[in-house]
Structure 1
Amino acid sequence: MVAPVARISEGASGPKAGRALALLASLFFMWGFITVINGTLLPHLRSVFALSYTQTTLIESVWFIAYFFASIPSAMVIERVGYQRSMVIGLAMMAVGALIMVPAAKLPSYEVTLFALFVIASGITLLQVAANPYVSVLGKPETASSRLNLVQAFNSAGATLAPLFGGYLILGRTTSGTAAAGAAALTPAERLADAQSVVLPYVIVAVVLAVLAVIIARFPLPPMGVATQRAAKAPPSGKSLGYRIAHHPLWQHRNLVLGIPAIFIYLIAEIGVGNLFINFVSQPEIGNLTHQQASNYLFLLWGGMMVGRLVGAFAMQRVEAGHALAVASIGATIVMLIAAFTTGHVAMWALISVGLFHSIMFPTIFTLGIKGLGPLTEEGSGLLIMAIAGGALVVVQGWLADSYGLQTSFLLTAACEVYVLFYALWGSKTA
């Protein structure tokens, strides 16, 4: 049987849907902003705790492990309390996690920092599981990729501003952030002083999240249509749990089955670039910059993603999503090879330009992955969001950087782009 097309309820058309989309764009902005603050937080923590690249990227791995553990519970929360209340709960969790960063900085404690980031990421996971499919069905199915790219542009806007925010309030107020590349290690007193710099920015973030949670709670968001929900619980089966999982109807959808590793692998590429960018361009043979100066160029990387998503939102109203994804993956592969094998400003600007090609990848893979799922949309969305845990494997790139050199480690990123190309050309086709 043909699965019903997922659509929002009939009363959600016109201005009401537009207002809902505008409000949801603020959620995308905030989780993009908070996620990319890590790009300035990680070089800061590397100096404060004297970490290797492997240990530094392990911090980001903890962040993305939260997506693995929180995705299925998030889908269960949405099923129980609905999309709107789930968004409020997600924002509240993020605010609590941001406040935990205060004692983590005061101690300072590596372990408490990891716990705080895990809580924030768990809240973002709940937002992602709720908001991505909601936006996808908030209008015509054939423009779902265009619509999700549009709100993801606001995600990139948050990501674009985050390096400036973190560069000024974290790196710009620390000894490590303003020191030249290759400067002497920090003294214990300097490390303690530097650790305190994260208190103010995370308190500001917590307040903004709390205000946004109140606004979302009071806003009349239109309900999801019945096409994305199960009409009834499946009857008990005499088969084992393993058998029921193996024969679940989700696995009949090739675009979802291959879309899960596409998200997983793409996140390795995106997070590796974002988290190692400052260290990369600060090297004497690349950009020879301080960490604070490098954060301004990280602003351009995420700005390219914002521009690309805005262009993609309009282009994909006319261009088939799979074709656009193929072009983006080819471009990303080329510039990553340039970054890995050249030096100086050529390598630096090649790495900056990958943001433009990465821009449409996540929202396009996501909408291609849930295409045609109908009443399985919630479960499929949960699995795709769980695949964001692929960002945890950025620790592999950290190990490659320690073992073979930071520049060589970006060959892993180029390999990830090749799988995205495969998904665009063949894996995304619905069976």
Structure 2
Amino acid sequence: MQAGFDRTAGPLAIVTVLFFMWGLLTALNDVLIPHLKAVYTLTYVQAMLVQFCFFGAYFIVSIPAGALIRRIGYRAGVVAGLAVAAFGCLLFYPAASAGYALFLLAFFVLATGITVLQVAANPYVTILGNPATASSRLTLTQAFNSLGTTVAPAIGGMLILSDTVKSDTEVAQLSAAAQAAYRAHEAAAVQGPYLWLAAALLVLGLCFACARLPGIAGREEGAADSGSPLASRRLVLGVIGIFAYVGAEVSIGSFMINFLGEPHIAGLSAAAAAPYVSYYWGGAMLGRFVGFAVMRKVSPGRALAFNAACSIALILVAVFGKGPLAMAALLMVGLCNSIMFPTIFSMALHGLGPATGQGSGLLCMAIVGGAVLPFVQGLAADGAGLQLSFLVPAACYVYILFFGLKYAGMYRAGRTA
């Protein structure tokens, strides 16, 4: 037992670094969205193009990324993903003077690199040990992903939102030349942080190029026979679950700063609201560390259903409440989010055997929910108001509640399909 732990502890520790980095990069979007919205005087829908381009890369790139990793191997795939992500960060430098369109391209390229890392790392974690505790292991590594998402808004708030951005009225009063100069100056706030991130990703890539990591076996012991992964009904439902979960989580984070800026909620400026986004992601981190222990004793499906039900209740309080109560309720959804992604992911992959890689690619494609659902919430916010628009993520948690209840006894009953 101890020897098995020693063999897997090192690879898990190394892969955990990846989870931290892509959490950091993903959560910085929550800071950049209100910043770019103010700088370029965008509507909510236009601002959500950031998430549309970022998470849209998962849908476009996941299957090619899986083919790439099968061809060049896990370690080379990780290095390639880090190099592409670093290039995406470098694109933020010229985007500051070129305009919003190049920012969107930079987000897509950055997410392309992260997608390669996601496709490789998630199934890698699930097979490093007992299949019955795969949710627990993935929850632990996802906790460090949440550590990245927790520190990112606070750091981004200090580095990117430190200046007071002019209102739409103030910008409209400037001449065309002055508006262009103002926007270039404010957009340049992202250059320094993303250059440092590009350097960090390149250094990490060099480290992985020299590291020794065991390969992913083509078949889990005792797994089901090979075949199309879509033959598994649980995988299909899990793909929808990942779509709904990522969409809900990203939507809430994307609109959090604007929500806290509403006069009847907290009336905070963007710079003052940014640290609270860290509380939202920090709740997910705390919950994942707790979930790592709890889910060794509790059925993953039951834990998933309980957290989804709590999320629905909290969002309803945020939608129909006001002041500190509504603010606290929405922030606490982060705690409920904690176990959802790793639990849905590992439950959906359970028993796929040689089709695990294909299943992982489909699940990673479903992360496109982070592109689609914030866009849908943006339409709702522009049409019905920001507060009511949070009913969109609430509907996503209703589906997750269904998925958790449907497979509540899966591991304890020994089910594999």
> TM-score if structure 2 supplies the norm length?
0.93
Per the TM alignment, residue 164 of structure 1 is displaced from its structure 2 partner at its CA by 1.0
Task: Tell me which residue corresponds to 1:390.
Answer: 369
Q: 1:132 aligns with which of 122, 132, 137?
A: 122
Take 1:250 and 1:427, find their aligned partners in 2: how far apart are those partners? 18
Residue aligned with 1:13, SS: helix
Per the TM alignment, residue 38 of structure 1 is displaced from its structure 2 partner at its CA by 0.3
Q: Contact (CA 8 Å) 1:401, 1:408: kept in 2 or not? A: yes
Cα distance change of structure 1 residues 119 and 370 upon mapping to structure 2, 3 Å threshold: same
Q: 1:222 aligns with which of 191, 203, 214?
A: 214
Residue aligned with 1:50, SS: coil
Task: Tell me which residue corresponds to 1:422.
Answer: 402
Which deviates the most, 185-194 or 152-161?
A: 185-194
Per the TM alignment, residue 48 of structure 1 is displaced from its structure 2 partner at its CA by 1.2
What are the ranges of 5 or more consecutive residues in structure 2 without an aligned counterpart? Answer: 411-415
Residue aligned with 2:206, SS: helix
Take 1:152 and 1:126, find their aligned partners in 2: how far apart are those partners? 16
Which deviates the most, 217-226 or 265-274?
A: 217-226
Task: Tell me which residue corresponds to 2:389.
Answer: 409
Take 1:63 and 1:414, find their aligned partners in 2: how far apart are those partners? 22
Per the TM alignment, residue 257 of structure 1 is displaced from its structure 2 partner at its CA by 1.1
Per the TM alignment, residue 123 of structure 1 is displaced from its structure 2 partner at its CA by 0.6
| Paired-residue identity, % | 47
Q: Contact (CA 8 Å) 2:229, 2:356: kept in 1 or not? A: no
Per the TM alignment, residue 15 of structure 1 is displaced from its structure 2 partner at its CA by 2.2
Cα deviation per residue 1:190-219 (whole Å; 9 max; x = unaligned)? 322111100000001001101111111111
Residue aligned with 2:91, SS: helix
Q: Contact (CA 8 Å) 1:259, 1:423: kept in 2 or not? A: yes
The residue correspondences of 1:19-418 to structure 2 (distance < 5 A) are: 19-105=10-96, 107-172=97-162, 174-176=163-165, 184-185=170-171, 187=174, 188=179, 189-227=181-219, 249-393=228-372, 394-418=374-398
> TM-score if structure 1 supplies the norm length?
0.90
Per the TM alignment, residue 142 of structure 1 is displaced from its structure 2 partner at its CA by 1.1
Take 2:311 and 2:304, find their aligned partners in 1: how far apart are those partners? 11
Q: Contact (CA 8 Å) 2:41, 2:168: kept in 1 or not? A: no
Cα deviation per residue 1:156-193 (whole Å; 9 max; x = unaligned)? 00000000111011001x231xx7x8984475143221
Take 1:35 and 1:171, find their aligned partners in 2: how far apart are those partners? 17
Q: Contact (CA 8 Å) 1:72, 1:382: kept in 2 or not? A: yes
Q: For this pair of structures, how many residues does the alignment match?
A: 400
Q: Contact (CA 8 Å) 1:84, 1:216: kept in 2 or not? A: yes
Residue aligned with 1:401, SS: helix
Q: Contact (CA 8 Å) 1:17, 1:222: kept in 2 or not? A: no
Take 2:405 and 2:170, find their aligned partners in 1: how far apart are those partners? 50
Cα deviation per residue 1:51-78 (whole Å; 9 max; x = unaligned)? 0001001221111110010000011011
What are the ranges of 5 or more consecutive residues in structure 1 without an aligned counterpart? Answer: 1-9, 235-247
Q: Contact (CA 8 Å) 2:38, 2:168: kept in 1 or not? A: no
Take 1:140 and 1:251, find their aligned partners in 2: how far apart are those partners? 24
Take 1:93 and 1:222, find their aligned partners in 2: how far apart are those partners? 23
Task: Tell me which residue corresponds to 2:413.
Answer: none
Take 1:100 and 1:397, find their aligned partners in 2: how far apart are those partners? 28
Cα distance change of structure 1 residues 342 and 185 upon mapping to structure 2, 3 Å threshold: farther
Q: Contact (CA 8 Å) 1:108, 1:195: kept in 2 or not? A: no
Take 1:160 and 1:90, find their aligned partners in 2: how far apart are those partners? 23
